[in-house]
Amino acid sequence: MTTTEVPSDLAAFAGFLRERLAVLSGEFARPSDAADRAPGDDRIAAVEELREGHEEEIRWVRRFQAALYEAGIAWPSGPVVHGGLGLTPAHDAVLDDLLSELGFPSREALFVGLRIVAPALLHHAAPALRDEVLPALYRAQIVGCQLFSEPGAGSDLAGVTTRAVRDGDDWVVSGQKVWTSMAHLADVGEALVRTHPEASKHGGLTMLLIDMHAPGVTVRPIRQMTGGAAFNEVFLDEVRVPDARRIGGLGEGWRVAGTSLGSERSTMGGAAGPLTPYVMERVVGLVRRLGAEADAVHRPQIARAVAAVAAMRAVANLSPGSWSHRLEPVSGSVLKMLMSQAADEIARLAQDVLGEGAFVDLGEADAYAWSEFVLGVPALHIAGGTDEIQRNVIAQRGLGLPRVSAPRAT
């Protein structure tokens, strides 16, 4: 397929995708009322959870991603040389919307590799590393994870202490990472490490691509209050990483991390994020089934949820040229904040409408199905950078406001 055969107009591109997805629908698409769910499972989650017996589900998703790649539509915005179509992120969003609308499996397990690790490789890695890893990620031959946060470095990400010491052509990495989504499935991990402890806090960091199956890598799931374990802690005990697996230059890890985080935040507000079309369809169905829109008590909360989602979608649909030159670099932070606020409003609405049925299985439609979503929403205020960090990014980098020093103790 050549790029001249692919329409750039978004509406025409959607039609182009529908034709190609029709070929895959018989094998992969589910009925619309079960989109993104395993058969017989009506649960709704803000963050996909690790569940017992998930292995076949993951294999199925990986087969589906491979089929998308072979059909030439897995990465609309990606370079043609790596199997992409050379289009724009807006075309990626069209694909995400259609996959959800047509009942194809959720690619949540691949999110970190495709939307966080891949952009860092694309923009910063040496050609040989890009050529090797990017097609493998988009074929789902490998799964990626993000080794950023640490027990003592979450919001203050530049404070990471995981050390990488040079030994010939290798780096020897030791430290601990935490809150690592999909580490239990991952083959490679994008790791922010400290290579120059004598340098400045931000300048001493470098990004490495670690083999998650290498000796010295230990992954332990973190059980959440939802009952699942989507996050993990990862221990790195003298793990050897070839310098050829470095992403970007020495001391440029902070800049590489910015690329990954910007992509993550931007994507979280779209159909590939937590508020999928499936979630929106379910909440609308819930409100209508219970007649909540006719209840004066529920109407204000419905209005708040509708307004929050409308704001998120309006910003997500803005073209890059619609932003001022100062706000363009922080657009991902703006969208991430709007997404987490919209998720809050939807969670409150589900609780208001269902009452105890939000947390107790009453044997009725939608009863208990929303419990994981409600309990998982707080994590969205942390994932991709806490709300406080996002506000600082928007204020300082976008609006040009001065950094405010912490008050001195008297």
| Residues belonging to the active site | 264
Q: What angle do CA 3, 128, 252 make, to 5 degrees?
A: 105
Rounded to an integer, what distance in angstroms lies between the CA atom of residue 294 and that of residue 296?
A: 6
Query: Residue 387 CA to chain centroid, in angstroms?
Result: 16
For 186-239, the DSSP string reads -SEEEEEEES-TTS-TTTTEEEEEEETTSTTEEEEEE--TTS---EEEEEEEEE
In whole angstroms, give the CA distance from residue 133 to residue 110. Answer: 14
Residue whose C-alpha is closest to residue 237's, from 146, 153, 162: 162
Count helices and strands (H / E) in the chain: 12, 8
Q: How many CB atoms lie within 10 A of CB 292?
A: 18
DSSP string, 79-92: -GGGT--S--HHHH
Strand spans (E) along 212-355: 217-222, 231-242, 246-247
As a whole number of angstroms, the distance between CA 374 and CA 366 comes to 13
Q: Which amino acid is at 325?
A: H
